[in-house]
Chains A and B, each alone.
Chain A
Amino acid sequence: MKNLNRRDFFKTTAFGVALATLGAKSAKASDKMLSEDRIGVLVDTAVCVGCRHCEWACKVAHNIPTTDLDTYSDNTVFKEYRRPEQTALTVVNEFENEKNSLLPIQVKTQCMHCERPACVSACIVGALTKEEDGSIIWNDDKCIGCRYCMVACQFQIPTYDYDRSIDPHIRKCDFCHDRRKEGQLPACVNICPNEALLFGKRSEVLRVAKNRIKRKSDVYVNHIYGEQEVGGTSWIYIASKNFDKLKMPTLVKNPAPGISESIQHGIFAYFIPPVTLYALLRTIMWVSTRHKDKNSENLSDIHKDEKGEES
């Protein structure tokens, strides 16, 4: 925390203005904790066959109720574009393949486990943390349900259990934290028949990705999604089609935490008593839960706003 002097203390009235200027100071703290050997997954969408076994395995590993694996063969779900939610931490979507209409492209979506996670910076109570291995996990006991992380995440990943707004749950892919503690691979990686999900050190999977593009330059577009987006992500993607056509947001190199962190740091830097903050946030929560039906629309609006601010 910064050194405070009396003048700073009285500046609280200028809080709003100051927020903007603080934007540039981003999450350097998480940098030094990251291990050289931090993990990553390469999602090779040219190899994925869209079997959705990963969706099933993820649910089983997280005790989310699910039907039999057989039922996941039903590919009518691809008719609608889906996003991860609290009952499905990862989902697979299908996109047209212009090169061969008989072989559509499938893309698995889950938390990207950003190198500079906006969600972690946005969380005012430290419920979300970035582990040394690069994964982002959260702590239900700490979460106060403010949903700052949902707003901050550029990939619209964290989802919120609206049925439990008193005892809130944020849900997202946790990189199979528990399984990995026992020396197992993430459930989705383990089940994938084609190893479309390649697990390893981030530096290694990045190297494999580069070489796959180099060797099959006729198949892949020359872009590793997540190598640089928002400062890099642990889950990286390669594809035979431009990523904006696969509904992957076009993002800048710079990490997103700038904005969200400035809110959080601003608050502490200018000494607003946290009680006021809690009260404010509870009011926001109360207001927004009243509008929960409309929430998905609201959310995307907020996203637009935020992107606008960023650029």
Chain B
Amino acid sequence: MKKILYILIPVIIICFLVITVSSSQTQLHKQENKVTVSKNQNSKISDKLTAYDVKGFTCKSCHVNEYPTKNDPGLSDCPREYMVSEYRSPKEGPDVVVINDMSDNYSGVVFSHKLHSQMSEMSGGCTGCHHYNTTGPVLNCRNCHDKNRSREDITVPDLKAAYHRQCMTCHKQWTLENGCNTQCHLQKGTNIEQVLESYKGKEHPKVNSPEKMLWETNSDKGKMVTFFHDEHNKLFRISCNTCHNQENCIKCHEKKPREDYSKPVKIQKSLEEHHSRCNNCHSGNSCTKCHSGQELSPFNHGKSTGWTLNSYHNKLECSKCHGNSVPIKKLDRNCNSCHKNFTKGKFDHKVTGIYLSEVHMELECKDCHTNGDFSKAPNCKSCHDDKSYPAQLPGTRGKK
């Protein structure tokens, strides 16, 4: 009897185990996965779309590949009837945008578009937010981003995420009760007209830029680096976004209290970042252009270019000679390049301090100023074997 029990007990337990294990396996097969996820399908391209008929557009109307990149945009034949080549500028944008596409679930948002877009040129321009927007009309987020989180095509974020990602990248420090619900989402009972009114005429304050910056480095090429910020910006007309095109708002807005916003911000950058900005233009210069033992002096036309600006030229706007192009055009030393009217008889040679004799007045400029180079001494040898300037003069010295 005892023996039977010894055999029976383990057998019963094993049977029990086998049953439990197998039942848990059959469960597996019965399991149903209700959240269906299936493949994306390329939408068909209509032949009759025009640029402004954006409703029928999806990314895939133009791009046949799923992840277009700059190098591989995967463009299909253009479905538009004519080409649009206008690029948008932040100035054209609206002052405020009311976002209430998802107001059935979330309270709407009044977005101060102007305040944000004014600074956008420092961080990639309109396309920083309106990404993948080609020329022509600015598309709404909902054109590409699906309202449903549970959706077939998960290659692009849903609409809720698309909105939030725009805001939260900078406003990461916001909390529900200090940010999200106070600055963005309208709360119940808010008078929307009032909110809209409050944004009227609001602009981003002018950004104060430093006059010059001085760094002490440990470079053996010269410890001090002087950078004349104002000069680059105002004199050489290099626009802010030439250098500041990938800035993040929080570089200014989180670093210091609001009352200090009027002071320039010191932006932390790596050595490479510092150099890369200068190298955009100065790659051909030697290190000592910036690196020196001491602080450098500001731009001086005579020292830097070898052409000292005297009484006439130093009264002129730079653009009068150099035009409006950026970077500033280098000029030659030929007066006729600018002064097209400086010809025989028309040029009052007295302004140079040399009053020409009657005979010399009859000559062409290039007879003495060979090759039209007025910075060099005039050449007397073509007429007078025995004379040279300035030992002998082609007239008399007088007041300039």
Contacts and interface: CB of A to CB of B under 8 A. Distances in A.
Q: Do A and B bind each other?
A: yes
A214 B67 contact: yes
Contacts of B154: 198-200, 204-205, 208
B248 interface: yes
Contact of A39 (B9, B33, B157, B175): B33
A125 interface: yes
A139 B24 contact: yes
- The listed residue with most B CB atoms (<10 A of its CB), out of A129, A183, A195, A200, is A195
A262 to B, nearest CB: 17
B33 A195 contact: no
Contacts of A173: none
A131 interface: yes
B168 A35 contact: no
Contacts of B24: 126, 129, 139, 142
Interface of A: 33, 35, 37-39, 47, 49-50, 69-70, 73, 75, 100, 102-103, 125-126, 129-133, 139, 142, 180-185, 189-190, 192-195, 198-201, 204-205, 208, 211, 214-215, 273-275
Given A189-B149, A194-B168, A208-B154, A201 B176 contact: no
B178 A182 contact: no
Interface in B3-21: 9-10, 13-14, 17, 20-21
A125 B248 CA distance: 55
B33 A133 contact: yes
Contacts of A75: 175
Contacts of B10: 273-275
Given A126-B21, A195-B161, A200 B37 contact: yes
A190 B151 CA distance: 12
Nearest to A192: B161
Contacts of A125: 17, 20
Contacts of A180: 33-35
Contacts of A199: 35, 149-150, 154
B158 A195 contact: yes
B240 interface: no
Contact of B33 (A132, A142, A204): A132
Given A132-B29, A194-B164, A215-B69, A102 B254 contact: yes
A103 B35 contact: no
Contacts of A131: 28, 31
A211 B172 CA distance: 25
Contacts of A195: 149, 157-158, 160-161, 165
A204 B151 CA distance: 12
B155 interface: yes
A185 B35 contact: yes
